[in-house]
Amino acid sequence: MTPANAPAPSPATPSATPYGTLPPAATPSARKPLSLPRLREMHAQGEKITMLTAYDATFAAVADAAGVECILVGDSLGMVCQGLTSTVGVTLETMRHHTECVANGLRRSHATAWLIGDLPFGTYHESKEQALRSAVVLMQAGAHMVKLEGGGWTADTVRFLVERGIPVCAHLGLTPQTVHALGGYRVQGKTDEAAATLKREAHELQDAGAAMLVLEMVPAALSAALTQALTHCPTIGIGAGNGTAGQVLVLHDMLGMNLGKMPKFVRNFMDGAPSVRGAMEAYVRAVKDGSFPVNATHAW
């Protein structure tokens, strides 16, 4: 029995934890959770869509609180988190783990961001059925959408997934999973023939039901023309100029934490920022007001 005059036990508080864990769930945000209809509405109204990569709960929660609309759990984690020389070595289990971590972080924050999970190399190439099984793994881990690379044969895979209720983001231009076939990290679509192929594949992916299209290292004029031509598939640029419907950067790059050579299309948003969240907020503002990217500096 507890003595009558014993002091009452002090309530447990989140601050008592010894590690840098996330705070309790935040007060509900005035922003509504992003959805495909909302993203389509933004596109139709000409509002730029912001996207950043994230690979863990804390950075995902901070990005969500900073107003980033789309979080991509990119297979770029193979390079920035695992130290690999390309994304080719990333496995589906690794992507599942990090997608789950990011989803947990969003739930602990405002939970407004749209979460996209990358299908890694070799997990959708064998068949449409293999792609479905792989996509289910990421969707069950918390993704709202999956992303896959390449055009041509991928259109049938996109259609197969979309018909089964899985939103898909496509990816053309520089496709890092096939960097060895491309001969390195080079601008794509520079010749008339290459540009025509890219245009055809972009329309095929839109017609197959892709709800977004990442354009990576594509000449700015070509990206802008594609953005205007694709009436219901917003383009998200990375090294593709300011004429796209939105922008994406790798988190570590935009925070100035790249372990190698900083790509031309990156701006270090930590310069002058008071915090990581401040840098993310600056990124959101710059994309929204059109001050990033600058074609003369960040594009081809």
Instruction: List residues with catalytic annotation.
Output: 216
Task: Compute the distance between CA of residue 78 and CA of residue 188 in angstroms, rounded to an integer.
Answer: 23
Long-range pairs for 181-187: beta carbons < 8 A, 24 or more residues apart: 185/217, 186/217, 187/217, 187/218, 187/219, 187/239, 187/300
Task: Compute the distance between CA of residue 180 and CA of residue 86 in angstroms, rounded to an integer.
Answer: 9
Distance of CA 66 to the CA centre of its chain: 15
277 exposure class (CB count in 10 Å sphere: 0-12, 13-18, 19+): middle
Cβ atoms of 51 and 72 within 8 Å: the answer is yes
- Tokens 């990816």: give the residue: 171
Q: Which residue type, as a one-letter code, is found at position 226?
A: L
Beta bridge partners of 249: 52
Would you state the structure tokens that stand for residue 56, as one six-digit string? 């863990």
Kindly state the greatest CA–CA separation across the chain: 87
Does a cis peptide bond (omega within 30 degrees of 0) precede residue 293? yes
Would you state the structure tokens that stand for residue 161, as one six-digit string? 């997934």
Q: Which of 110, 18, 111, 105 is nearest to 58 (CA)?
A: 105
Task: Compute the distance between CA of residue 60 and CA of residue 143 in angstroms, rounded to an integer.
Answer: 13
